[in-house]
Amino acid sequence: MAFNLLAVADQLAAVVGTALGTGPVQFGAPLAIGPKVSGYLTLGDQPTILKTNTSVQRDCHFFLDISYRIDDDVAQVTVAERALMTFVDTFHKAIFADLSLNRTCMATRLETGLAETPEYRVRAAREFREYPIVVSCTQQDTYNPTP
């Protein structure tokens, strides 16, 4: 698994888009969020560790934010929570069906601790329920210790 952030990001975007039923998610924080349910993916921390005298391992972190527009409608809060629950189940099943993300990484981990406190945000006069997930993928590559 050579270092290749784009390959991992493309696989994540496809899995998320399928789980949402919306097609691939947007890369980068959006200027505007989609009409009802949408997601975006951004690059996070990239910690590395030397594994041997010629190999290096990296944990590629990506921030995934899933948003459901509720537009200040109390009835939509329940609909949004149920939709997010369905997405999380579908997403987890898809990730655990192939932890290598189509052989782009050695392992994938999902961290949902940021979702412990519900987030409702207003953007462009619209209110959204947001669900953050940190996705970590391990890749390994080689390096020359004596250039």
Query: Residue 33 has what pLDDT?
Result: 66
Q: Whole-prediction pTM value? A: 0.87
Query: Residue 44 has what pLDDT?
Result: 95
Residue 96 phi/psi, 5-degree rounding, is: -70, -15
pLDDT averaged over consecutive 10-residue blocks of the chain (147 residues)? Answer: 92 91 79 74 94 93 91 82 91 95 95 86 77 95 87
Q: How big is the CA angle at 116 (ends 30 and 114), to the nearest 5 degrees?
A: 45
Query: Residue 96 has what pLDDT?
Result: 95
Residues 61 and 73: beta-carbon distance below 8 Å: no
Identify the structural domains of the chain with CATH numbers, from first to last. 5-22+45-141 (3.30.2000)
